[in-house]
Chains A and B, each alone.
Chain A
Amino acid sequence: MRHIISILLENEPGALSRVVGLFSQRNFNIETLNVAPTEDESLSRLTVTTFGDERIIEQITKHLNRLIDVVKLVDLTEGDHVERELMLVKLKAVGDAREEIKRTAEIFRAQIVDITPSIYTVQIAGDAGKLDGFLQALGPSSILEVARTGVSGIARGEKTLSV
């Protein structure tokens, strides 16, 4: 099953490599990875999506917790949560395709953020399924380049991941 694990990490050089290294060292999967500093500059928030049965996920969280640089973590998929990913797509847009892409973008609430006579660059945010759906709707022939941020997430309601 797919899990979204959010981690508060010491914002220290090398801390990220310990997390990434742990996944390869222990043969765990990383599907997406997303990291940036938080409002407290001594901390980074790292969100990783991974696959595994209950035993593997338990091992992943235990081993992550064992890293000295990991301050706190939560498996967001254990409760209600909001999940978002941002994607930029560069598309070949000539002739009829220009209108077609615009219509599709509207349906998916995507925005065109850059235009040339033959190119649209489209921005879209949503959960991973929505982004996949958008790419499918566009069809492979027009897509020139895709840049996805990887999943970020936060628990719904009053629950917080903070020090």
Chain B
Amino acid sequence: MELLSGADMIARFLADEGVEHIYGYPGGAALHIYDALFRQDAVKHILVRHEQAATHMADGYARSTGKPGVVLVTSGPGATNAVTGIATAYMDSIPMVVLCGQVASHLIGEDAFQETDIVGVTRPIVKHSFTIKHPSDIPTVLKKAFYIAASGRPGPVVVDIPKDMTSPNERHEYSYPKKVKLRSYAPPARGHAGQIKKAVDLITSAQRPVVFAGGGIITGHASEALTDLARRLDLPVVTSLMGIGAFPQTDRQSLGWPGMHGSFVANQAMHNSDLIFCVGARFDDRVTNNVAKFCPTAKIIHVDIDPSSISKTITADVPIVGAASSVLNEMLGLLSERGVDTAQRDEQLSGWWKRIDEWRASRDGKLYEPSAPGELLKPEEVVEAVYRATNGDAFVATDVGQHQMFAAQYYKFDKPHRLITSGGLGTMGFGLPAAMGVKLNHPNEQVVLFTGEGSFQMMMQELSTCKQFGIGVKIINLNNHSLGMVRQWQDLNYKARHAHSYVESLPDFTTLFKAYGFKALSVDKAEQLEGALAETFADRSELVFLDVQVDPREHVYPMQVPNGAMNDMLLSKTERT
């Protein structure tokens, strides 16, 4: 066996684990590791300009590939800067391994320079964490970290590495552990056969069924099985925000996503259903609205790999703990055995589909008021134009706010892993680094960032990283000179007192991008958009910034009425259900 220092073990382990990129920022406690990275070339390090961006880049990579993103930061401020990104990944169940330098073991607890108890700080926002106690533990601990991060319900794992653990003066035997076993951790795989049968009975007999598919379908690589099941039984499909792309959105059976800013038809269908077949979603408060008024006539089947998600907010009638793909495939097997009578299904569901199609048609052409030539664009039409310009086949990252909702509403996703958005935590600043993480790993794809001037300014230092590594993301800035979602709530709930939601002293963004040597375009009239988009998307390898001045008065609709049922919605500034 080979003798390696702790630092060399880390570099070697990452290569053996198949990690191509790690995102990070050096500092004192991590310097042995950085030296080890310098002396190898299997793993490429991407230097960010702020550690939060490293976590979001790793997150973007993970969301677009399903594999854990890897971050390397130093102790103290390096680690605390990563906290927001770790929390973001935790809330959306994104696999991530964060390697944190730490002060040397003998200094821990002495308030040493750049010392922070990062295991303590991150405890409520990690799936698990480790502290390295001996250099020879490094391969096993890292293998456990990757295994825990990516298996079961994925999540971030922090590994705290005191500096003496990576000292070049101490060498230990290294071998790559192909497998690890943890006696206290065994993610569930197959669901309970009896429950699965019961679920299939309920689904096939329901008169008004709705499939509610969440992010678990995407992380569990189960969208093919879900799509197959929904098509065989002609089921209407709603996906959560995190589940967008789990079922093709251009399909007739897709009703979009539900919840606070979800589609009219999705909210109506769920509210009026007699059965909700939920797979891999967690009935978040942004979906359910008031839980006491939630879907009064629906029975609930809830499939989740994490038992604690089941009956947490909404009580399940048929709970099934298991991996989405395994459970769905067993259901498909049962359906194949029993056979599906298409004519009978058509008859059973025709009334339900008729109601759904009426709800859908009732909002056609009424979603927003398009702009006229010479006017400011509406943000919704910008998203629709980008959808056309990219043939609906881009990876789309968003920041957080109105533009995020517009992007999710008006870009139609037919594939999983394509919408990269901070759903649970709602982290402004997420978008740019997340898009960069996607683009680095999908260099030949169009990667679009929808952002706003508020979110963008939270992470705009990363333009320098884009320049260094030639990351050609397309940045569409829906510029309304205000924190649009905050402003919308102030319009609705605070008599339009716009307390600190107006962004004064915006920079001239195009000049800013030009300072980094990037192409920057701007549009302030509706008729300029198509040409600008053609130029933006002409060369996939080139970073292009497009500043679009949009109507600041625009609100995101539908919008659920607070404390109402799912289908209590404001439909525009003047209409309510």
- CB A21 to nearest CB in B, in angstroms, measures 5
Q: Please determine whether A63 and B311 come into contact, CB atoms closer than 8 angstroms.
A: no
- CB A56 to nearest CB in B, in angstroms, measures 11
Q: Please determine whether A66 and B308 come into contact, CB atoms closer than 8 angstroms.
A: yes
Q: Please determine whether B120 and A17 come into contact, CB atoms closer than 8 angstroms.
A: yes
B128 within 8 A of A: yes
**B residues within 8 A CB of A62?**
307-308
Known contacts A14-B131, A68-B128, A71-B183, A21 near B123 by CB under 8 Å: yes
What CA separation (Å) do A141 and B119 show in the bound complex? 45
Q: Please determine whether B123 and A55 come into contact, CB atoms closer than 8 angstroms.
A: no
**B residues within 8 A CB of A25?**
124
**A residues within 8 A CB of B131?**
13-14
- Nearest CB in chain A to that of B184: its residue: A71
What CA separation (Å) do A17 and B355 show in the bound complex? 52
Q: Which of B177-207 contact A (CB under 8 A)?
A: 182-185
Q: Which of A94-151 contact B (CB under 8 A)?
A: none
What CA separation (Å) do A55 and B315 show in the bound complex? 9
Q: Please determine whether A68 and B308 come into contact, CB atoms closer than 8 angstroms.
A: no
Q: Please determine whether A68 and B307 come into contact, CB atoms closer than 8 angstroms.
A: no
**A residues within 8 A CB of B148?**
68
Q: Among A10, A62, A63, A69, which residue has the most Cβ atoms of chain B within 10 A?
A: A62
How many residues of chain A have a CB within 8 Å of chain B?
20
- CB B410 to nearest CB in A, in angstroms, measures 37
**A residues within 8 A CB of B184?**
10, 68-72
What CA separation (Å) do A70 and B185 show in the bound complex? 8
Q: Please determine whether A68 and B185 come into contact, CB atoms closer than 8 angstroms.
A: yes
Known contacts A62-B308, A66-B308, A14 near B124 by CB under 8 Å: no
Known contacts A14-B131, A18-B123, A25-B124, A68 near B182 by CB under 8 Å: yes
Q: Which of A9-52 contact B (CB under 8 A)?
A: 10, 13-14, 17-18, 21, 25
Q: Which of A56-92 contact B (CB under 8 A)?
A: 58-59, 62-63, 65-66, 68-72
A1 within 8 A of B: no
B527 within 8 A of A: no
**B residues within 8 A CB of A18?**
123
- CB B118 to nearest CB in A, in angstroms, measures 12
B312 within 8 A of A: yes
Q: Please determine whether B307 and A65 come into contact, CB atoms closer than 8 angstroms.
A: yes
Q: Which of B110-164 contact A (CB under 8 A)?
A: 119-120, 123-124, 127-129, 131, 148
- Nearest CB in chain B to that of A8: its residue: B184
**A residues within 8 A CB of B384?**
none
- CB A16 to nearest CB in B, in angstroms, measures 11
**A residues within 8 A CB of B129?**
14
**A residues within 8 A CB of B308?**
59, 62-63, 65-66
B306 within 8 A of A: yes
- CB A109 to nearest CB in B, in angstroms, measures 39
Q: Please determine whether A14 and B119 come into contact, CB atoms closer than 8 angstroms.
A: yes
Interface of A is mostly: helix
Q: Please determine whether B123 and A17 come into contact, CB atoms closer than 8 angstroms.
A: yes
**A residues within 8 A CB of B123?**
14, 17-18, 21
Known contacts A10-B184, A17-B120, A163-B183, A68 near B127 by CB under 8 Å: yes
**B residues within 8 A CB of A21?**
123-124
**A residues within 8 A CB of B128?**
68
- Nearest CB in chain A to that of B124: its residue: A25
**B residues within 8 A CB of A66?**
306-308
What CA separation (Å) do A43 and B460 show in the bound complex? 48
What CA separation (Å) do A90 and B129 show in the bound complex? 42
- CB A153 to nearest CB in B, in angstroms, measures 21
- CB B32 to nearest CB in A, in angstroms, measures 23
Q: Please determine whether A59 and B183 come into contact, CB atoms closer than 8 angstroms.
A: no
- CB B308 to nearest CB in A, in angstroms, measures 4
What CA separation (Å) do A13 and B131 show in the bound complex? 9
- CB B129 to nearest CB in A, in angstroms, measures 8
Q: Hey, what's the 0/1 contact readout for B299-333 against A, CB within 8 Å counting as 1?
A: 00000001110011001000000000000000000
**A residues within 8 A CB of B183?**
71, 163
**B residues within 8 A CB of A70?**
184
- CB B301 to nearest CB in A, in angstroms, measures 18
- CB A55 to nearest CB in B, in angstroms, measures 7
**B residues within 8 A CB of A13?**
131
What CA separation (Å) do A163 and B183 show in the bound complex? 9
- Nearest CB in chain A to that of B152: its residue: A66
**B residues within 8 A CB of A68?**
127-128, 148, 182, 184-185
**B residues within 8 A CB of A58?**
311
- Nearest CB in chain B to that of A14: its residue: B119
What CA separation (Å) do A10 and B128 show in the bound complex? 13
Q: Hey, what's the 0/1 contact readout for B238-282 against A, CB within 8 Å counting as 1?
A: 000000000000000000000000000000000000000000000
**B residues within 8 A CB of A69?**
184
Known contacts A68-B127, A68-B148, A69-B184, A55 near B120 by CB under 8 Å: no
- CB A18 to nearest CB in B, in angstroms, measures 6
**B residues within 8 A CB of A163?**
183
What CA separation (Å) do A155 and B389 show in the bound complex? 67
Q: Please determine whether A59 and B124 come into contact, CB atoms closer than 8 angstroms.
A: no
- Nearest CB in chain B to that of A55: its residue: B311
Q: Please determine whether B312 and A59 come into contact, CB atoms closer than 8 angstroms.
A: yes
**B residues within 8 A CB of A14?**
119-120, 123, 129, 131
- CB B180 to nearest CB in A, in angstroms, measures 12
Q: Among A10, A63, A68, A71, which residue has the most Cβ atoms of chain B within 10 A?
A: A68
**A residues within 8 A CB of B182?**
68
- Nearest CB in chain A to that of B119: its residue: A14
**A residues within 8 A CB of B127?**
68
A-B contact pairs, 25 of them (CB 8 A): A10-B184, A13-B131, A14-B119, A14-B120, A14-B129, A14-B131, A17-B120, A18-B123, A25-B124, A55-B311, A55-B315, A59-B312, A63-B308, A65-B307, A65-B308, A66-B306, A66-B308, A68-B127, A68-B128, A68-B185, A70-B184, A71-B183, A71-B184, A72-B184, A163-B183
With A14-B119, A55-B311, A59-B308 already in contact, 16 other A-B pairs whose C-beta atoms are closer than 8 Å:
A10-B184, A13-B131, A14-B123, A17-B120, A18-B123, A25-B124, A55-B315, A58-B311, A59-B312, A62-B307, A66-B307, A68-B128, A68-B182, A68-B184, A68-B185, A163-B183
| 9 tightest Cβ-Cβ pairs between the two chains A and B | A62-B308, A71-B184, A68-B128, A25-B124, A62-B307, A68-B185, A63-B308, A21-B123, A66-B308
